[in-house]
Amino acid sequence: MKKIALAENVYWVGAVDWISRDFHGYSINGTTYNAFLIIDEKITLIDTVKKPYKSELLHRIRNIIDPEKIDYLVVNHVEMDHSGCLPEIVEAIRPEKIICSKMGHKALLQHFHQPDWPYHVVSGGEEISLGKRTLSFLETRMLHWPDSMFTYLKEDQILFTSDAFGEHLATSERFDDEVEQGVLMHEATKYYANILNLYSPLVKKLLAKVEELQLPIRMLAPDHGVVWRSNPGRIIEAYGRWCNQQGNGKALVIYDTMWESTRTMAKAVCEGLHDVGVEYKLIDLQVTHRSDAMTDILESSGFVLGSPTLNNGILPRMADFLMYMRGLKPANMVAASFGSYGWSGEAVKMMNEIIKELDVVLCHPGVKVQYVPGHEQLGQCVELGRTVGRAVQALMAGEKVESAA
C-alpha cells in the first residue's frame, strides 16, 4: 500500500466511502473520512473515521507504524462519522493523551461514557510540542457542532480543519490538484450550502480570526474530501463570498406541480425574469433533490416558489424543501411565490409565511390561480417574474428593496 504524505512524516490514513448516498437528507456520491498521522517524538493521530471503516484506518496506520506507538490522539470533532470507532481505537493504541476542546470533552463523555480516558483539554491558542513539531489549537464552536476545533501544525503550516473547507467527494485522489476542478468546486459549494450555510455569521468571524492570527497556511486538511495543497486560497476566498451571502444576480424558479397548471405558471414567471434581463434557472422538485436546489440557492440572488394547494396545504415535495431550506437560513435575497388551486388555495400564503421567517425580502404578495391559468393569469405570472427580476437588480445595485409583506 502506497503511503500518502502531506509533508515529511505527515500522512493521510483515512478511509474512502464509495457507498453512501445520503448525509442527513443531503444527497452525496460517497465521501471520505480523513485522519492524519504525524510521526515525531510524540506520534500523533488527528481524528478517526466512521465505525465501519475502523479496519481501513488501522491498516493504513500499520503500513507506517505500529498503532500502539501512537502517543496522542486529537479529536477535532465528535460527530460519529469521525469518532464512531473511537472506543476501539483508544483500546488499540492506548494513547497517553486524548486532546480535545472543552466542549469536545463534554461531548466525548456524553457519547462514549468513558470518564477514565486520558483527556487533555486545550484552549484556543494553546500549544503542544511533539518534539520537532508543534500543534496549536483554534476553537470553532458551532462549525458545525459545539465541540469543533481546528488543529494547526506550525512547522509544516498545515491547518486541520475538521468539517470546514471539505466536500463529500469519494475519489481515488487525495489532493485538490489531482481532481477535476469543476467537480471539486461544485462539491465544495454543495457542502457549504447544505451543512454550513446557517452558520455563515460564525464562518465570517472565523475567517477574520484566522486573518488576525496571521497563520501562514500551506495546506488545508479537512475531515471530508481532498486536501487543499496547491491552492488553499481558492476555497478560503469562496468561503468569504458564501458567508457574506454574495449572490450572483441570478434567480431561481423552484416548483412542484400536480396537473401542469403550476408548471405553466412557472414558465410564465421565467418569461418575466427574462424580460428584464435577469438570468434564471427553472427547478422542478419532482426531478431535483432538495440539496441540489439548495446548492443553487447559495449563489443566487432571488427565488420564486411555486406549489398548488393539496389538502389545504402545500405539495409534499415543496413542503419538504421549505422545511429543509428554512433550517439552512439563506439570506440577502429576494423572494416570492405562486401556485394553482382547486377550491381552497392556501399554498401561496403558507409559502409566503415561511419566506417571511428568513432574512430575505418578500418582494411580491404572490399569484394564485384557480384550476388552469388563462392568458390574463399568465400575464400576472409574467409580471411577477418582472417584479422579482427588478428586485434582484436593485439588490445587486445596493438599493433597498421594499417588502410586500
Residues with a known catalytic role = 24, 77, 79, 81, 144, 163, 191, 224
Q: Which of 161, 154, 156 is nearest to 134 (CA)?
A: 154
Between β-strands 119-121 and 97-100, what pairing exists: parallel, antiparallel or unpaired? parallel
Alpha-carbon torsion 257, 26, 191, 108, what sign?
positive
Burial readout 238-273 (b: 16 or more C-beta within 10 A, e: otherwise): bbeebbebebebbbbbbbbbbeebbbbbbebbbebb
How far is 277 from 388, CA to CA, in rounded Å?
11
Angle 348-405-245 from CA coordinates, rounded to 5°: 90
Q: What cell was used for 357?
A: 421567517
- For residue 327, give the C-alpha cell: 433550517
- In angstroms, the CA 318 to CA 195 distance is 20
CA distances from 360 to 66, 180, 184, 288 (A): 55, 34, 29, 23
Cis peptide before 144 (omega within 30 of 0): yes
User: In 3-state terms, what secondary structure has residue 25?
Assistant: coil
Q: How far apart are CA 290 and CA 318, in angstroms?
A: 9
Cβ pair 148, 162 in contact under 8 A: yes
For residues 135 and 153, is the Cβ–Cβ distance under 8 A? yes
Task: Sort strands 15-17 and 44-46 into parallel, antiparallel or unpaired.
Answer: unpaired
Closest CA to 313 of 286, 283, 339: 339
Q: How far apart are CA 308 and CA 298, in angstroms?
A: 25
Question: Among all chains, which residue has been given the C-alpha cell 485538490?
Answer: 176
Report which of 28, 19, 83 is spatially closest to residue 194, judged by C-alpha positions: 28
